[in-house]
C-alpha cells in the first residue's frame, strides 16, 4: 500500500483498550493503526476484528482521555513495523521502539514486521556451542548453549537482576570462533532503578556500545508491554541474522508481560482459563520464546535469557508453568539459599538445561563433564532426601553413610553454588570433583571406573 489512509471522526465507541470505528476505509486484519491526538504522542494499535460495518481496533496503550469526535486514525496498511540499522547498538528505546536517549533517530537500513515469522524447523541449526557463564551451577550442571532460551525463575526480592547482569558481562565462548556479540535488554514493566542499574552495569564494563535497551517502565502503559519484547526481538533478529552477531536477549520481567496479556484478554471477553489467564497464553508466549535459535548457513545466533518472578514463589503458577513447557530448561532461584547468603542462590534440583546434552562432553567441553554433572545431581538429590530424614530423627539418628551425604549437601551449597567471582569451567569442575571425593566410591555409581581412578582415588597434588 503506497499511501497511509486516514479515518477522521469515524470512532463510535471506546471500551477498555478497544476502539470501535465505522468501516469507512478498506483495511485488513492485524494491520497497524496510529491514533493521533491534537496533542501528545500518538497511540499504537492494530485491527483486531472486522466486519462489514465496524473496525475493532485494539489500542496498545492506555485509552485515557480519548474522545470520539476528534480522534484521527491513521492506517499503516501493514503490520506494526520496526526500522532497524547498525546504529541501534548503544541506544535506548522506549517499549515501542522510539528513541528516548535524546540522540538523533536511528538511520534505518531495514524494516521488519515486529511479530517476526516462524523459523522453519527444517532450517534451524541444532544449537551446540557451549557458553561459559562463569557461574558453576550453570556451567557444570545446566549448561547454556548458543541459540537456547533459558529463563530464570525467580521471586520478588531475589538477586535475579544481578545474575543476569553477571551473565551478560562474563559470558564467553570457549575456543577460537568467538564472533561478534551484542546484548539486547528489554525491560518490561520494571521500575526505573532496575533499568538504570542495568544500563549503568553495561556502561561500566564498557559493553554499552554492544547493547540496545528497550524500556517499558512500570509507569508506562501496561498494554504496551505486549509490544516491548516484540520490538526488542525484532532488533535482536536483525543483529543476529542480518549482521551475523551472537545476540543475548535479556527480558525482565515476563510476569508483567503475562499480567498485561490477562488484562487485555479480559477486556476482549475471552473465556478465562487458569487463574484468569487466557487459554492462548501458551501460544502467545511461544511466539516470543521461539524466536531464539540459530539458522543453517547464517552466522549469528539469538540466545534468550528471560527473567520471571514467580507469583508467591509458586513454580506451578501458570506463568512459570507455561514458560517451562516452552523454554529449553530453567534456572530456579531459591529464597532459602538467598537467606543463607549464598550467591547466586541457584536451586539446582528443579533447574534444568535441555540442550546441555548437545553442547557438553567430548568435542564440546570436557569428556567427563556430563558424568560429573550427573553424579553431582544424584548425590545432591540424595543429600536433600537425607536432610528431610534428619529434620525428624536428627543427625544422630542417621546411618553413617547418610551423615556423609548430609555434609556433602552443605559443602555443595557453600563451595560450589556459592561463589564470589567468576570461575572457568575447569575451576568449576575441579570444585565438583573435590566435593565428590568425600563420598565412598561404592556410592558414586554415575562415574565409571576410569573416572573414579582419575579424579576420585588419585588425589591430585
Partner 1 sequence: MTHATINWISESVLRASTHRPFRVNETALVGHQQLLGEVIRIKGDEVIIQVYEDTTGLRPGDPVSGTGSELSVHLGPGLLGNIFDGLLRPLASQGVHVEPGAGRQPSAKTYPFKPSVVVGTRLTSGTVFGTVHRPDALAQHCLVPPDCEGEVVEISPAGEYTEDHPICTLRRPTGETCAIAMAHYWPVRQPRPIAEHLPTEGPLFTGQRILDSIFPLACGGRAAMPGGFGTGKTVLQETLAKWCDADVIVYVGCGERGNEMAGVLHEFPALEDTRRGRPLMERTVIIANTSNMPVAAREASIYTAVTVAEYFRDQGMRVALMADSTSRWAEALREISGRLGELPSEAGYPAYLSSRQADFYERAAHVRTLNGEVGSLSIIGAVSPPSADFSEPVTTHTKRYVRCFWALDATRAQARFYPAIHPLLSYSEDADVLNTFWKEHGNPSWPAQRRRFLTLLEKQARLERMARIVGKDALPPSQQQVLLSAELINEAFLRQSAFSAKDRFCSAERQIQMMNIISQFIDLSEAAIEQPVSVEAINQLPIMRRLRRMGEDIAEDEMKKFDQLRNDMLSEFTQLTRSAATNAS
Closest CA to 289 of 249, 244, 243: 249
Site for partner 1 in 89-118 (CB under 8 A): 117-118
Choosing from 12, 67, 126, 156, the residue that interacts with partner 1 (CB under 8 A) is 126
**Beta bridge partner(s), residue 33:** 45, 75
* Min dist. Cβ of residue 91 to partner 1 (A): 27
* Min dist. Cβ of residue 189 to partner 1 (A): 23
Choosing from 64, 122, 458, 460, the residue that interacts with partner 1 (CB under 8 A) is 122
What is the rounded distance in angstroms from the CA atom of residue 51 to the CA atom of residue 7? Answer: 16
Minimum CB distance to partner 1 smaller for 43 or for 146 = 146
* Min dist. Cβ of residue 81 to partner 1 (A): 12
Residue 127: CB partners within 8 Å, gap ≥ 6?
A: 145, 146, 147, 148, 293, 294, 301, 355, 358, 359
Choosing from 389, 403, 430, 434, the residue that interacts with partner 1 (CB under 8 A) is 389
Closest CA to 192 of 156, 219, 165, 213: 219
Site for partner 1 in 45-74 (CB under 8 A): 48-52, 56
Q: Give the interface segment with partner 1, choosing from 10-18, 171-179, 345-353, 431-439 (CB under 8 A).
A: 345-353
What is the rounded distance in angstroms from the CA atom of residue 220 to the CA atom of residue 65? Answer: 15
Is position 31 an interface residue for partner 1 (rule: CB under 8 A)?
Answer: yes
Closest CA to 43 of 231, 223, 217, 234: 223
* Min dist. Cβ of residue 198 to partner 1 (A): 27
Residue 388: CB partners within 8 Å, gap ≥ 6?
A: none
| The residue count for the chain | 461
Q: What does DSSP say about strands 32-36 and 110-113: parallel, antiparallel, or unpaired? A: unpaired
* Min dist. Cβ of residue 259 to partner 1 (A): 18
Number of residues engaging partner 1 in binding (CB under 8 A): 84
Is position 336 an interface residue for partner 1 (rule: CB under 8 A)?
Answer: no
* Min dist. Cβ of residue 242 to partner 1 (A): 12
Site for partner 1 in 238-297 (CB under 8 A): 270-274, 279-280, 282-283, 286-287, 290-293, 295
- Cβ contact 101:387 at 8 Å: no
Choosing from 99, 108, 326, 342, the residue that interacts with partner 1 (CB under 8 A) is 326
* Min dist. Cβ of residue 124 to partner 1 (A): 4
Minimum CB distance to partner 1 smaller for 30 or for 83 = 30
Q: Give the interface segment with partner 1, choosing from 37-45, 204-212, 246-254, 311-319 (CB under 8 A).
A: 311-319
86 backbone dihedrals φ, ψ, rounded to 5°: -60, -20
What is the rounded distance in angstroms from the CA atom of residue 328 to the CA atom of residue 324? Answer: 7
Minimum CB distance to partner 1 smaller for 105 or for 279 = 279
Site for partner 1 in 346-375 (CB under 8 A): 349-350, 352, 354-355, 357-358, 370, 373-374
Site for partner 1 in 143-202 (CB under 8 A): 147-148
Minimum CB distance to partner 1 smaller for 254 or for 422 = 254
Angle at 97 between CA 94 and CA 101, to 5 degrees: 50
- End-to-end distance of the chain based on CA atoms, in angstroms? 73
Is position 17 an interface residue for partner 1 (rule: CB under 8 A)?
Answer: no
Q: Work out the number of other CB atoms within 10 angstroms of the CB of residue 325.
A: 10
* Min dist. Cβ of residue 451 to partner 1 (A): 11
Closest CA to 227 of 80, 424, 397: 80
Gyration radius of the chain over CA positions: 25
> What does the block give as the cell for 261?
496479556
Minimum CB distance to partner 1 smaller for 17 or for 127 = 127
Minimum CB distance to partner 1 smaller for 344 or for 359 = 359
- Cβ contact 281:273 at 8 Å: yes
Site for partner 1 in 391-450 (CB under 8 A): 392-393, 397-399, 401-402, 441-442, 445-446, 448
* Min dist. Cβ of residue 273 to partner 1 (A): 5
Closest CA to 214 of 62, 53, 106: 106
* Min dist. Cβ of residue 348 to partner 1 (A): 9
Check whether the bond before 12 is cis (ω within 30° of 0): no
Site for partner 1 in 199-218 (CB under 8 A): none
- Cβ contact 5:75 at 8 Å: yes
* Min dist. Cβ of residue 290 to partner 1 (A): 4
What is the rounded distance in angstroms from the CA atom of residue 332 to the CA atom of residue 203? Answer: 28
Amino acid at each position: 500500500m503506497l499511501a497511509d489512509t486516514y479515518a477522521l471522526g469515524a470512532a463510535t465507541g471506546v471500551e477498555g483498550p478497544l476502539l470501535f470505528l465505522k468501516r469507512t476505509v478498506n483495511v485488513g486484519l492485524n494491520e497497524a493503526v496510529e491514533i493521533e491526538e491534537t496533542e501528545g504522542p500518538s497511540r499504537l494499535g492494530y485491527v483486531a476484528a472486522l466486519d462489514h460495518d465496524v473496525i475493532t481496533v485494539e489500542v496498545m496503550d492506555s485509552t485515557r482521555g480519548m474522545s470520539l469526535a476528534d480522534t484521527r486514525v491513521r492506517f499503516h496498511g501493514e503490520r506494526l513495523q520496526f526500522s532497524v540499522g547498525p546504529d541501534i547498538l548503544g541506544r535506548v528505546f522506549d517499549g515501542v521502539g522510539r528513541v528516548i536517549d535524546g540522540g538523533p533517530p536511528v538511520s534505518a537500513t531495514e524494516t521488519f514486521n515486529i511479530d517476526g515469522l516462524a523459523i522453519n524447523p527444517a532450517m534451524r541449526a541444532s544449537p551446540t556451542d557451549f557458553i561459559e557463564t562463569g557461574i558453576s551451577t550453570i556451567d557444570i550442571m545446566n549448561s547454556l548453549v548458543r541459540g537456547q532460551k533459558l529463563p530464570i525463575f525467580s521471586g520478588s526480592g531475589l538477586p535475579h537482576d544481578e545474575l543476569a547482569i553477571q551473565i551478560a558481562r562474563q559470558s564467553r565462548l570457549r575456543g577460537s570462533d568467538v564472533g561478534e556479540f551484542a546484548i539486547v535488554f528489554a525491560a518490561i514493566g520494571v521500575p526505573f532503578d532496575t533499568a538504570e542499574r542495568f544500563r549503568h552495569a553495561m556502561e561500566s564494563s564498557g559493553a554499552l556500545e554492544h547493547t540496545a535497551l528497550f524500556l517499558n517502565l512500570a509507569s508506562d502503559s501496561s498494554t504496551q508491554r505486549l509490544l516491548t519484547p516484540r520490538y526488542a526481538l525484532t532488533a535482536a533478529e536483525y543483529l543476529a541474522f542480518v549482521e551475523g552477531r551472537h545476540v543475548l536477549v535479556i527480558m525482565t520481567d515476563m510476569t508483567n508481560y503475562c499480567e498485561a496479556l490477562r488484562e487485555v484478554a479480559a477486556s476482549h471477553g475471552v473465556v478465562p482459563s487458569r487463574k484468569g489467564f487466557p487459554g492462548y497464553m501458551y501460544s502467545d508466549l511461544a511466539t516470543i520464546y521461539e524466536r531464539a535459535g540459530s539458522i543453517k548457513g547464517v552466522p549469528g545466533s539469538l540466545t534468550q535469557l528471560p527473567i520471571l518472578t514467580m507469583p508467591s514463589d509458586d513454580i506451578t503458577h501458570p506463568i512459570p508453568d507455561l514458560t517451562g513447557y516452552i523454554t529449553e530448561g530453567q534456572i530456579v532461584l531459591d529464597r532459602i539459599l538467598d537467606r543463607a547468603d549464598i550467591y547466586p542462590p541457584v536451586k539446582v534440583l528443579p533447574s534444568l538445561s535441555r540442550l546441555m546434552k548437545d553442547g557438553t562432553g567430548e568435542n564440546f567441553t570436557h569428556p567427563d563433564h556430563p558424568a560429573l554433572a550427573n553424579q553431582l545431581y544424584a548425590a545432591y538429590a540424595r543429600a536433600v532426601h537425607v536432610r528431610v530424614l534428619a529434620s525428624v530423627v536428627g543427625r544422630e539418628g542417621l546411618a553413617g553413610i547418610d551423615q556423609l551425604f548430609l555434609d556433602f549437601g552443605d559443602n555443595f551449597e557453600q563451595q560450589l553454588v556459592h561463589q564470589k567471582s567468576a570461575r572457568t569451567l575447569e575451576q568449576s569442575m575441579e570444585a565438583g570433583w573435590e566435593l565428590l571425593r568425600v563420598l565412598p566410591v561404592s556410592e558414586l555409581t554415575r562415574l565409571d571406573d576410569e573416572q573414579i581412578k582419575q579424579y576420585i582415588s588419585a588425589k591430585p597434588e
